[in-house]
A and B are shown apart, each in its own frame.
Chain A
Amino acid sequence: MAALLRALRVGSALRGLGSVVSAPAAQPPCSSLTRGFHRAALRLQDESKADKPPSSSPSSTTYHEHYRAHSAEQEAAGAPQEHSASEPAAKEASRPNTSYQDQSGEQGEEYETEEQLQARILTAALEFIPLHGWTVEAIAAGAEMLGLSSASTGMFYNGAGDLVLHFVSQCNSQLTDILAEQHNQVQLGQAEPKKTAEFLRDAVETRLRMYIPYIETWPQAMSILLLPHNIPDSLKHLSTLVDDMWYYAGDRSTDMNWYTKRAALTGIYNTTELVMLQDSSPDFQDTWDFLDNRIQDVVNMATTAKQVQATGETVVQGLIGAAVTLKNLTGLNQRR
């Protein structure tokens, strides 16, 4: 079963390889082609890893493969093939068993999912953002840096949106790791637990500092996140970010406080992000001062709310007492 899967996979990879060899220009994204690109990209990768060619440019690796495919044609076992152009490549259908085992140090199932490949490309693309902005060109440059064809941007149906969402998700994961690490240290007794306001302040600052390398182009990224088809995803990322921050700050509420706390922190985070975009002070000091003030506002509001609630309860108690006294005085409280 696994072997059949592998054979089918490689078979379709070779079809894609055939089309990459013949026409390396960008093609309109359609699902079979993107699958082909993905498989082709995988094969290029595997071959370059296995053979270690002297030059790492994609075209020479491609030709290398092409020649190897031709020479190996004779030993072709009957692999299912529909496309005549993939005949030389179809040869390689019998190779998967040998090539996977030949890769020294890597097990037979060196299998990267499409999502992992996309993640790698997008991470590589982040380097090119100062140059190209949050655009498909940056993704293409990232793909090329990894040794893949720039046509692999066809994998990303959402284009620049995919890049921005990937970056946001990556930043959130980093923040979660940092917060979890701090939490562990507190559990182990190696660090003092911070007060809530200070904790949130540090968490928001840490998270926003991740934008500093891209701050020039961040307005573009924010506008991409505000596009209607990106809004559900960006809101989901924002809500998990805020939930994580409150969880590690120690919030375990299970009533309306759950909602009010997260709403407050979302407001603080968003406004601070906007202030950061226009901040030109050294090391964004103005932004962090703004953040301090906003958190202080929320703390004050929470204190005031508690006071109002306590006062309200006292007033109600007083009223009930007055009512009972009146009932006693007028004799209505007598039991028959």
Chain B
Amino acid sequence: MHRAVYSCSNIVGPAMIRQCLKCRVPQQLSSRAYSVVPTPRDSEEKEMLHRILRVDHAGEYGANRIYAGQMAVLGRSSIGPLIQEMWDQEKVHLAKFTEILAESRVRPTALLPFWNIAGFVLGASSALLGKEGAMACTVAVEESISEHYNSQIRALMEEDPDRYTELLQVIKEFRDDEIEHHDTGLEHDAESVPGYWILKNAIQLGCKAAIYASQRI
């Protein structure tokens, strides 16, 4: 019933709706004709999309820093090239999300400096536990991230799969990459690090907290 009334008022046109009183922010204009993310139709959709993009950007930024930390310690060891390869893929992800953020005018999370340091410290300290420690950290983080991407994919599919096709494509592709990293980590003896279970769960708890915080702040 409410929807029918709402669609009636659309006849009058968006320009008038912009003048609306209830401090609804006027439609923000973007200068790009085509973008991966569709222009939000109302403030709820905008809020949802911006949260998704903000937290994904923060996640890729953090993953980037984790690999940087691991490379700083293990860069010259035998596992160096593998970590470098995974790091390069994360860099591609980060570049893509940075581009999407800029064109959709999404506010980046204010916690970025914090993730910068925390990610590097996590990567470096897990690498200090040796090659297996670094792989265990990779497994834990990639598992968190792929679970998170999956829940985003589910949410977007529930909303409107046709509207978000390109965005879904991007997220699916990145999720597949993350799962590949996860499997690579397992292949390289991640589970043989002492205290694997506690390390993995601690890191995953931290990731969950980071995701929660980045969505809001």
A contact set with B: CB distance below 8 Å: 1-2, 5, 109, 111-113, 115-116, 118-119, 122-123, 162, 165-166, 169-170, 172-173, 176, 180, 183, 187, 233, 236-237, 240, 243-244, 247, 252-256, 258-259
Contact = CB atoms under 8 A, between A and B. Distances in A.
A173 B18 contact: yes
Interface of B: 4-5, 8-9, 11-12, 16-23, 25-26, 28-29, 31, 57, 98, 101-103, 105, 107-108, 110, 112-113
A183 B31 contact: yes
A176 B29 contact: yes
30 contacts: A2-B4, A111-B9, A113-B12, A115-B17, A116-B16, A119-B20, A123-B19, A162-B21, A165-B23, A166-B21, A169-B19, A172-B26, A173-B18, A173-B26, A176-B26, A180-B29, A183-B31, A187-B31, A236-B23, A240-B25, A240-B26, A243-B105, A244-B28, A252-B102, A252-B103, A255-B108, A255-B112, A258-B107, A258-B108, A259-B110
Given A111-B11, A255-B108, A258-B107, A5 B21 contact: no
Nearest to A236: B23
A169 B26 CA distance: 8
A254 B19 contact: no
A2 B113 CA distance: 54
Given A243-B105, A256-B112, A256-B113, A115 B20 contact: yes
A255 B101 CA distance: 10
B185 to A, nearest CB: 28
Contact of B21 (A119, A243, A255, A256): A119
Contacts of A118: 21
Given A2-B4, A166-B21, A254-B108, 18 more contacts: A112-B12, A113-B12, A115-B22, A116-B9, A116-B16, A116-B19, A122-B21, A162-B21, A165-B23, A169-B23, A169-B26, A173-B19, A247-B28, A252-B103, A253-B102, A254-B98, A254-B102, A256-B112
A233 B23 contact: yes
Nearest to B11: A109
Contacts of A259: 110
A2 B102 CA distance: 42
